[in-house]
Amino acid sequence: MAKIHQNGDTPTLNTRVLPVNASNIGKICSKSKEEIETSFIEDWDLDTSISNPDITLLKQAADELRHSNVPVAFPTETVYGLGADATRSEAVRGIYKAKQRPSDNPLIVHFSSLKQLRDLLRPSASPHPSSHQAPSQQSQTGSDSDPIPAIYHPLIKQFWPGPLTLILPLPSPSPLAPEVTASLRTFGARIPAHPLALALIHLTGRPIAAPSANASTLPSPTCAEHVFSDLQGRISTILDGGPCDVGVESTVVDGLSVPPVVLRPGGVSLGELRKCDGWEDVRVGYEDRSLKGEAEGPRAPGMKYRHYSPRARVVLYEAGKKLRKEGLESVGKVGIIRTKRWKIPDGFDLENQAVDADQKSRNGEPSQNGTDASKERLNPLARILAPPIPSPRRLIPSSSESTLTSSEIWDVPLTASTKAIARGLFSALRDLDRLGVDVIYVEGIDDGKGRREGDEGERNDEAHDGGTRDSNEEKDLAAAIMNRLRKAAEVEFAVTE
């Protein structure tokens, strides 16, 4: 497994964690005659006329992105990103160096507005598509009036800003550094739905290449604490905007192929995509395993190499599979991540006090002045902070009834909604790793895979326990969660006991 410190490369930078309050960074101002509710991501400006420490820190980070080759970590709604100016090779190479990331793994480019994206797709030296181009080609490569392929317009209207990445044709000549695309003729683009991310990109004035801000192969970071743990000494600045409220990376879609495909599951579900014009027949184009060893390079991040893995051994139990008692016997220090069905193991009780962990950057408080989801998407500066994530709790033998001999058992109960499980998964893996557990047993959730004939009783039990079965959207989010877990697991208990 990859380590943070490799090949004698000793960290030398002083890493600063800078808390920034999103409510103090300014006000979005529309540049068009239309109201901001209908034109926000087209083109906008940020009124930072009132000076305060939060604005100052954000401007300093933007200046680093413009002039330094050391990447800057910042929050998005999915996970924390490690950003660099996507147009400068030296800056982009700084991402690969800090993460110890393989250079053939492409990066997603983040934009603050559709105008910024269109300007990149249609540089002044780039010829426009010919007027006699076939309609099917124009839908894939864009048009004179809009270089963004028409197949993506319904998705942009519905999901941007948000956790969706679009695979786009690389313009020629390309303003992007070649290190961004890993020799592909396409690149991934998205507009994030986090106020600090949007403001930072806007103030930088450059498209920002930004993979997750973790050491390569480790679980993705969902709070500033995780970034500091992985990259201390390797980067200078971490903007702390609190915990991420999605918790898994963006969905990656390729509309340039026919039919369109999902290359990575994430924050936007397959069911939601199929409700959009032109995406009714979207297919799954990923596998729940790494593609390392494949001759062809990955079409999107997360496809080729092992990802999301803590240092401890991960044992995944598919939905409905009971935790094996022998798994808790004589294995040393054990971590358990429970989701929808598992209870605290027989013979154990919860210790009175939870683990004493630093929760300052990880646990947010719901805003007292929050807005509904639609207004939040249109005006992300008014977004609600994510709720707290459960901490590990130590289990102790209830009495002489317990015959289990494990020295320590730590329990993380992500026993809530599928969204809450997604939000807390990476944090739970990291917390248990920090406690030094030898093995982590994870209860999987139902994503439609791993079932066998004769499991109808389990389905009925789930319906009884939960009242109703998960919606299609929840099942698709479950697919994103299980995709990460299957890639992290060394052992998987699936359809046989």
One-letter-per-residue 3-state SS of the chain = CCCCCCCCCCCCCCCEEEECCHHHCCEEEECCCCCHHHHCCCCEEEECCCCCHHHHHHHHHHHHHHHCCCCEEECCCCCCEEEEECCCHHHHHHHHHHHCCCCCCCCEEECCCHHHHHHHHCCCCCCCCCCCCCHHHHHHHCCCCCCCCHHHHHHHHHHCCCCEEEEEECCCCCCCCHHHHCCCCEEEEECCCCHHHHHHHHHHCCCEECCECCCCCCCCCCCHHHHHHHHECCECEEEECCCCCCCCCCEEEECCCCCCEEEECCCCCHHHHHCCCCCCCCEECCCCCCCCCCCCCCCCCCCCCCCCCCCCEEEEECCCCCCCHHHHCCCCEEEEEECCCCCCCCCEEEEEEECCCCCCCCCCCCCCCCCCHHHHHHCHHHCCCCCCCCCCEEEEECCCCCCCCCCEEEEEECCCCHHHHHHHHHHHHHHHHHCCCCEEEEECCCCCCCCCCCCHHHHHHHHHHHCCCCCHHHHHHHHHHHHHHHHHCCEEECCCC
Mean pLDDT throughout 439-465? 60
Query: What percent of the chain clears pLDDT 70, i.e. is strictly above it?
Result: 71
Q: Which residue has the higher pLDDT, 165 or 364?
A: 165
How far, in Å, CA of 430 to CA of 310, rounded?
Answer: 6
**What integer pLDDT is reported at residue 144 of this predicted model?**
61
Local confidence band at 170 (pLDDT 50, 70, 90 cut-offs): very high
Q: Is the pLDDT of residue 328 over 80?
A: no
Predicted model pTM:
0.82
Question: Which domains can be identified in the chain, with CATH numbers?
Answer: 16-284 (3.90.870.10), 313-355+391-493 (no CATH)
- 7: its two tokens: 């090949």
Mean pLDDT of the chain: 79
Which of 24-28, 71-75, 335-339, 464-468 has the lowest average pLDDT? 464-468
Residue 491 CA to its chain's centroid (Å): 24
Give the residue-averaged pLDDT of 318-327.
80
Average pLDDT over residues 300-325: 75
Q: Confidence class of residue 388 from pLDDT cuts 50, 70 and 90?
A: confident
Range among 8-22, 31-45, 341-355, 432-446 rated most confident: 432-446
CB 260 within 8 Å of CB 140: no
Average pLDDT over residues 99-111: 88
Residue 53 CA to residue 43 CA, distance in Å, equals: 26
Position with higher pLDDT, 99 vs 102? 99
Instruction: Inform me whether the pLDDT recorded for 276 exceeds 70.
Output: yes
Predicted local confidence at residue 49, as pLDDT:
81
- Is the pLDDT assigned to residue 191 strictly greater than 80? yes
pLDDT the model gives residue 300: 55
Identify the residue with better confidence: 399 or 203: 203
Highest mean pLDDT out of 43-57, 102-116, 201-215: 201-215
